[in-house]
Structure 1
Amino acid sequence: MDQLHRDISSARRSAKEGAYSHSILLYTSTLGQMNKMMTEGAIESGRSEWIQARSKLSNEMAMVKKLEKEVNELKIGEDGGEIAPSDPDVWPPPPPRKTTQGVKRGGGVKGGMGRSREEEKRGERRTDKSLLRKSNSQNGIDRRDRDQPQLRKGESSEAKEGGGKNSEEEEKRREQLARYDRELVETIERDILQTNLDVRWSSIAGLDDAKKLLKEAVILPTVLPQFFKGIRRPWKGVCMVGPPGTGKTLLAKAVATECKTTFFSVSSSTLTSKYRGDSEKLVRLLFEMARLYAPSTIFIDEIDSLGGRRGSEGEHEASRRVKSQLLVEMDGCSVDADKPVLVLAATNFPWELDEALRRRLEKRIYIPLPDLTARESLLKIALDEVDLAEDVNLAEMAALLEGFSGADMTNVCREASMMGLRRLTDALDAVQIAALANQKVDLPVTRDDLLSAIRRTSPSVSQKDVDKYGMWMKEFGAV
């Protein structure tokens, strides 16, 4: 009872002080407690007085809610002007239009009545251009903010403030990107531009042929630009084909880290917009930015979802327009030899690719399942951070993992590294586990742990799928 009195007093005091939300919360809590007490039969006498008190508190809460609503409407009125009546069946009136005023050469301001016909036409033309610049996806964005695109991610403050050649190049880039909507430019910079991936060639086991080709396609043209001209021009596109989990994305990350190029990582969702025409603009802007920040690498993961075969059943018109724009940009992305742009693609379904897109991806290489040597190297890399028991023979384990992809082998190593902790904590509760010292928890991985993990894990790629990739590479491969 004392708690109810305190809550009621606090609710009324908060209402007097203008804290309506807090007051309503206290009223709601008090009424809930009263209803619970009356329902459970805790009130033996004076039930009618309790009902009257509950009705009075309900009326007080309704008044507080009404006051809060009026205050909120006043705040909206101060921000947005006169409050119009709300009717869901009637469209709201258009926002007030600002009157454009002409400025005299001497600095005076002329009213709308004093403007000449030529000045009025110039003002209308200027207004029409500003309206054309503002796409559906740009409503509510300040024009000054749209006209100045941001710098790249990972760029230091010295590069922003420094003068000389870098500042001139950055100014040219801004001028080139100023004709695009600022929101689209920010989408490219925020979702696509990737830096500091920290994946080295040494982090990838095997795949020596793929590494050699990527070094030839990305590194050599930047080191020997005078050589890669004419018929020796750099490759425009490289497509990595293979089962899932074989390291295609890791190779792309290694290209971004080792080759010191601007790296754009693209998926179908990045280049998709609900506004008509914005998807094509994003594709065009992507390649425009890649040329401005050249040498660049555009990595398109799961390219089959973006560049599937045209004319297939159920294909949407918007998807076809995006594919057409992508094909146009890829054909013209290597016109300037001084600004090389490489399109690096990866797919698990190469037979779904459009014929024209397949032609533009000049190099089509197969990323196979790891062989015996690569599997042993991968085990060394995956188990580098854990202690191994003396009875562990990685060559023996690699022989048992035939048919496993790189991702499957990583899962096996992760499973084996958890075996010691599971044995240690099986009979312990949470308090005892927290009291364990770190040196007791980090137990070495034994041979039995690896064998048990291999028995528990099955390969994710079947031999039938491997044969299918081999047939496609025999027909369309270009290594």
Structure 2
Amino acid sequence: MVNSDAALSSLEENMRSARDYAMLGRYDDAVLFYESAISQMSKQVQDTDDNEQRNEWVEARKSLQTELEKVNENMNALQRLGTAVASSFDDSPPTDPDVWPPKPRKPPTNLSVARGRASTGSVASSTGACTSHAKRNITDERKKKSSIKKSTSQTNFDDNGKRQQNVRNNAADTDEQPDVEGKVFDPSGYDKELVDTIERNILLNNPNVPWTKIAGLDEAKKLLKEAAVLPFLIPQYFKGIRRPWKGVCLFGPPGTGKTMFAKAVATECNTTFFCVSSSSLTSKYRGDSERLVRLLFEMARFHAPSTIFIDEIDSICSRRGSDTEHEASRRVKSELLVQMDGCYEDTSKTVLVLAATNFPWDLDEALRRRLEKRIYIPLPKAPDRLHLLRIALEEVKLAEDVKLEEIAERLEGYSGADITHVCRDAAMMPLREHIANMSPEEMMSLSASEVDLPITGDHFMQSIQKTAPSVSLADIHKYEKWMEEYGAS
């Protein structure tokens, strides 16, 4: 693919700006331009069909990543230096290690006063003295707290740039933990341990999985964007019959990218993302599992718009009425169904339940009805397999005899995870051949350029012969049959 002049000029401008800011010591701005340039180079690597030109782009990106690492090292060094200087300041007088320091003076206690009053007065008078003393302590403590709150509220409106620092100090002084938007969930009525269990499942870190990292499956991407992104962007449109979807179920063979879809939703959508599993909603104490389910949905409605991702949902809400079903499991299923669509429904709060399973035929009928969209994630087709190969091999060199189109044709019947395993095994083969007869001392003396060898077409053929597909044709027919009966895409 021919590189456009606009893309190359933009890349050149980003690299120049990044290096200029790094020379000026403005490392924060330099990091932004470096990351933008590296992202543009990654796109060039994926779009280039010529292996020789592709390897040149890979080398250029590695050198740019090395520059970015050095800039980050300089930033960390400056931060450590500032912390060390701030912590080294001490206005106390120097001490002699050979001389013992003076014994610290203890504050006077009220024991002698109380004892003297008890000896001269009656028991009632001593009790009144202790009571008045306790009242004075409580009054002083309240005055102290009110003065702290008053000073904090006054300094919050100071124009000296300290408002954010005061907000952080107030959050640290309280036991409640505010979320990113500053809202604090009221845990009254629940045990603190249960609240902490759900809060640990809030995904605060960005998984860094954009939609471009998922090959193919355009219909599933469009539906998830419609269910999770658009209601947040134009909420006035999604009302009445156009209300957002409440539940989306992704089913298909293992390794087809169902969990990757959830990571992409967490990356691209500006919603609170809860990632839970069966262990997150299970407790050995009677009634705690149902409380966890209810608490999860109450917190999701409080932080709305929210997305609840339940991986392997068949382990939580399988078909009810079986002989081996336990009473506690049935109560958890009932609470989950009620919270998804029951009398506690609040239409003003947008909560999307995103579920993934490899066994859709084991799901309960009521849950299947609440998961309004049931999307089949099949094995990748030939164009999708080619895209997966380019994504998996974007950081390694390829020899001239490597034809990714032919390799994609050979990988028919392989899942996305199987294709990644083939690429990983093929990427290790050049190193295995190079260090076959080397001692550990010789391996340690190797440089990075000596071990960064290109992958040949023979390496891919050997890896394909050693790796069989993990999904059988009988399983594929079973998924397709269930999709024909209960699918809703």
TM range (shorter): 0.5 to 0.7
- TM norm structure 1: 0.65
Equivalents in 2 of 1:399, 1:177: separation in Å? 55
Moved >6 Å (runs of 4+): 156-159, 166-172
Q: Is 1:478 the counterpart of 2:484 in the alignment?
A: no
- More off after superposition, 368-377 vs 182-191: 182-191
| Counterpart-to-counterpart distance in 2, 1:333 and 1:473 | 30
Deviation at 1:219, TM superposition (A): 0.6
Return closer, same or farther for 1:291/1:252 CA change in 2, 3 Å cut-off: same
Alignment pair present for 1:441 and 2:445: no
Distance 1:170 1:210, change over 3 A: closer
Structure 2 CA distance for aligned equivalents of residues 191 and 419 of structure 1: 39
1:173 equivalent to 2:181? Answer no
Paired position in structure 1 for 2:384:
374
2:461 is matched with 451
Distance 1:427 1:258, change over 3 A: same
* Residue 428 of structure 1, aligned match among 438, 441, 447: 438
Deviations for 1:396-453, whole angstroms, at most 9, x for unmatched residues?
1000000000000000000000000000011111111111111010101111111111
1:294 corresponds in structure 2 to: 304
Give the aligned partner of residue 19 of structure 1. none
Task: Tell whether the 8 Å contact from 2:203 to 2:273 is kept in structure 1 after alignment.
Answer: yes
**For structure 2, which runs of at least 5 residues remain unmatched after alignment?**
1-126, 135-163, 172-176
CA pair 338-229 structure 1, distance change in 2 beyond 3 A: same
TM-score (ref. length: structure 2): 0.64
Does residue 1:215 correspond to 2:261, yes or no? no
The residue type equivalent to 1:458 in the other structure is: A
Q: Distance in 2 between matches of 1:229 and 1:306?
A: 31
Q: Does 1:408 align with 2:418?
A: yes
User: Could you tell me which amino acid in structure 1 is paired with residue 260 of structure 2?
Assistant: L
Q: Specify which of 273, 281, 288 is matched with residue 278 of structure 1.
A: 288
Letter in 2 for 1:376: L
- 2:104 corresponding residue in structure 1: none
RMSD: 2.6
Alpha-carbon contact 2:251-2:358 (below 8 Å) kept: yes
1:232 aligned partner:
242
* Residues 1:248 and 2:237 are matched in the alignment: no
1-side partners of 2:343 and 2:444: how far apart? 58
1:5-154 correspondence runs (5 A): none
- Cα separation, 1, equivalents of 2:368 and 2:453: 50
* Contact 2:202–2:272 (CA under 8 A) maintained in structure 1: no
Residue 247 of structure 1: how far off its partner (Å) = 0.1
Distance 2:312 2:407 in 1: 31
Hey, what's the Cα distance between the residues in 2 that align with 1:159 and 1:336? Answer: 31
Give a deviation string over 1:190-220, Cα, whole Å, max 9, x none.
2454522111101111111110000000111
Structure 1 residue 394 displacement after superposition: 0.7
Alignment check: 8 A CA contact 1:387 1:444 kept: yes
Q: Secondary structure at the match of 2:236?
A: coil
Native 8 Å contact 1:334 1:341 kept in 2: no
Q: Which amino acid aligns with 1:199?
A: V
Among 342, 357, 370, the alignment partner of 1:347 is 357
Give the C-alpha shift of residue 261 in structure 1: 1.1
Paired residue total? 328
Unaligned runs of 5+ in 1: 1-102, 111-155
Cα deviation for residue 179 of structure 1 reads 2.5
Structure 2 residue 342 is matched with structure 1 residue 327 = no
Answering whether residue 206 of structure 2 is matched by residue 196 of structure 1, we say yes
Higher relative contact order (CA 8 A, sep 6+): 2
Structure 2 residue 432 is matched with structure 1 residue 417: no
| C-alpha distance in structure 1 between counterparts of 2:180 and 2:453, whole Å | 55
Query: CA contact under 8 A between 1:242 and 1:368: conserved in structure 2?
Result: yes
- Aligned residue for 2:339, secondary structure, equals helix
Q: Structure 1 pair 261/308, CA: closer, same or farther in 2 (3 Å)?
A: same
Shift of 1:332: 4.4
AA partner of residue 399 (structure 1):
E
Q: What is the identity, as a one-letter code, of the residue corresponding to 1:352?
A: D
**Aligned residues of 1:236 and 1:333 also touching (Cα < 8 A):** no
Is the contact made by 1:225 and 1:338 (CA closer than 8 Å) also made in structure 2? no
